[in-house]
Amino acid sequence: EFLLVLVNLVKFNSCYLDEYIASMVHMICLLCVQTVSSVDIEVSLQVLDAVVCYNCLPAESLPLFIVTLCRTINVKELCEPCWKLMRNLLGTHLGHSAIYNMCRIMEDRAYKEDAALLRGAVFFVGMALWGAHRLYSLKNSPTSVLPSFYEAMTCPNEVVSYEIVLSITRLIKKYR
């Protein structure tokens, strides 16, 4: 219930919250990653969506925000709200930075064993740049992100490889 109050607080009082947004986003992201309640995560995504839509997501919050969404997209019942939130984020002035952050995640050896995170990053980048609901405001070419996909292939988990194959298949079909 508190999270629903936060949604309304951000929607209707965002101009008064600037100094609190970064810490609030941090706490909400941690809640998303640590809780097992899909209801809490869904409402947390609503809070984060309100921040993106009615306020300005602080740039320093972007890496944790992206990691949270990349992990959350792997929960079946949260795919749609998570993708909606990522689309909203990618449509802001932070869109290109978000793509860059996800490419860095795919290239970072520290995340080689983190299949959920890598799968989420691959999914979001592919869908945003050449998926069925791609964002035309993003000007990244496929050749700029494919090396990151290649690096993500070093993950020993087949789920990541499968997501890369799906994404590359979408790309090929787009240009067929």
pLDDT band at 87 (very low <50, low <70, confident <90, very high): very high
Separation between Cα atoms, residue 129 and residue 31, nearest integer Å: 29
Over range 145-161, report the average pLDDT. Answer: 96
pLDDT for res 15: 84
pLDDT band at 175 (very low <50, low <70, confident <90, very high): confident
| pLDDT surpasses 90 at 39 | yes
pTM score of the predicted model: 0.94
| Domain residue ranges of the chain, discontinuous segments joined by + | 94-176
State which amino acid sits at residue 58: P
pLDDT for res 154: 94
Separation between Cα atoms, residue 52 and residue 32, nearest integer Å: 16
Over range 139-150, report the average pLDDT. Answer: 96
pLDDT band at 14 (very low <50, low <70, confident <90, very high): confident
Over range 13-26, report the average pLDDT. Answer: 91
CA dihedral angle for residue 34, residue 46, residue 65, residue 106, rounded to 10 degrees: 90
